[in-house]
Amino acid sequence: MPIVHHSDYKPPVWMRNRHLLTIYPTLCRRVKRVQYTRARMTMPDGDFVDLDFSAVGSDLLVLVLHGLEGDAHRKYVKGMVQLFNQQGYDVAGMNFRGCSGEPNKALRFYHSGETADLDAVVQHVAASRKYKALYLVGFSLGGNVALKYTGEQGKNIHPLVHATVAISVPIDLANSAIELEKKHNAIYMQRFIRSLGAKLKAKQALYPDAINLEGYENITTFRQFDDRYTAPLHGFPDADTYWYQSSAIRVLDQVAIPTLLINAQDDSFLGPKCFPYEMAEHHPLFYLETPRYGGHVGFVNFGVSSYWTERRALDFIRSHP
Residues forming the active site: 140, 267, 296
284: DSSP letter: S
Q: 53: exposed, middle or buried (C-beta count within 10 Å: 0-12, 13-18, 19+)?
A: middle
Dihedral of the alpha carbons of 76, 77, 80, 85, in degrees to the nearest 10: -140
For the chain, how many residues are written? 321
At 214, give phi and psi (nearest 5°). Answer: -60, 125
Q: Decide: 260 and 233 in contact? Cβ < 8 Å.
A: no
Amino acid at 44: P
Measured CA to CA, the distance from residue 121 to residue 97 in angstroms comes to 12
